C-alpha cells in the first residue's frame, strides 16, 4: 500500500505542474493578428483583363500594371503595338505611386501643377495620371497603373481595371 502522504505529495506536484503549464500556454499564445485582405494573382489577372478589354475596345494599346498595397508589382502586361515604349517603366511606377500614396496619381500631378510644386521632389514616384488605388471594401489592396497614349486614355483604362473587383 502507498502511504497517503506520498499520494498527497504526488497530487500537489501534479496540480502545480498543471497550473504552470496552463500559465505558460496562456502567456506564450499570441493573439491572432487581424488578417488584411490581399490582392491575389488571380485578382490581378482579372483586373488586367478588364483594363486590356477597355484598351482594345477603344484602340488604345499600352502597358497595364498591377501592384500590391506596398507598391510591389504583381503583374505587368505590354500589349502589342503599345504606343509609348517608356510605358514599360511608367505603368508599374504609376501603380506603385498610387498604392503608396493611397490615392490616384492624378491627385499628385494636380498638386505639382498647382499649389504643391514641392511634391516634384518626391524621388522615385511618377506624378502622372494613370495610377489608381484598388479597393476591397474600404481597404486599399493595391493599385493599377496604365501608360497608353494620353492621360485621359490612361485613366479610362485604369478605371476599367480597378472596377473589375466590384
Our count of domains for the chain comes to 1
Which CATH number do you get for residue 131?
3.30.450.150
> Is 86 inside a domain boundary?
yes
Residue 1: the pLDDT is: 57
- Please tell me whether the overall predicted TM-score, pTM, comes out greater than 0.85 for this model: no
> Is 149 inside a domain boundary?
yes
pLDDT tier, 24 (very low <50, low <70, confident <90, very high otherwise): very low
> Is 31 inside a domain boundary?
no
> Is 108 inside a domain boundary?
yes
Tell me which of 34 and 42 has the higher pLDDT.
42
> Is 88 inside a domain boundary?
yes
**How would DSSP label each residue in the chain?**
---HHHHHHHHHHHHHHHHHHHHHHHHHSPPPPPPPP---HHHHHHHHHHHHHHHHHHT---EEEEEETTS-EEEEEE-TT-S-TTHHHHHHHHHHHHHHHTS-HHHHHHHHHTT-GGGGG-TT---SS-EEEEEETTEEEEEEEEESSSHHHHHHHHHHHHGGG-
> Is 58 inside a domain boundary?
yes
pLDDT tier, 114 (very low <50, low <70, confident <90, very high otherwise): very high
> Is 19 inside a domain boundary?
no
Residue 141: the pLDDT is: 97
Mean pLDDT value across residues 19-39: 62
Residue 156: the pLDDT is: 98
> Is 3 inside a domain boundary?
no
Domain that holds residue 153: 41-165
Amino acid at each position: 500500500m502507498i502511504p497517503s502522504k506520498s499520494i498527497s505529495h504526488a497530487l500537489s506536484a501534479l496540480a502545480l505542474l498543471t497550473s504552470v503549464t496552463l500559465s505558460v500556454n496562456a502567456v506564450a499564445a499570441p493573439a491572432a493578428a487581424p488578417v488584411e485582405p490581399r490582392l491575389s494573382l488571380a485578382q490581378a489577372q482579372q483586373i488586367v483583363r478588364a483594363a486590356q478589354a477597355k484598351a482594345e475596345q477603344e484602340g488604345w494599346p499600352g502597358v497595364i500594371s498591377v501592384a500590391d498595397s506596398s507598391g510591389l508589382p504583381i503583374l505587368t502586361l505590354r500589349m502589342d503595338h503599345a504606343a509609348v515604349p517608356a510605358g514599360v517603366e511608367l505603368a508599374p511606377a504609376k501603380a506603385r505611386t498610387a498604392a503608396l500614396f493611397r490615392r490616384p496619381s492624378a491627385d499628385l500631378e494636380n498638386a505639382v501643377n498647382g499649389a504643391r510644386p514641392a511634391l516634384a521632389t518626391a524621388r522615385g514616384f511618377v506624378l502622372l495620371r494613370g495610377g489608381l488605388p484598388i479597393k476591397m471594401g474600404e481597404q486599399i489592396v493595391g493599385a493599377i497603373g496604365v501608360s497608353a497614349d494620353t492621360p485621359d486614355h490612361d485613366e479610362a483604362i485604369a478605371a476599367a481595371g480597378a472596377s473589375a473587383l466590384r
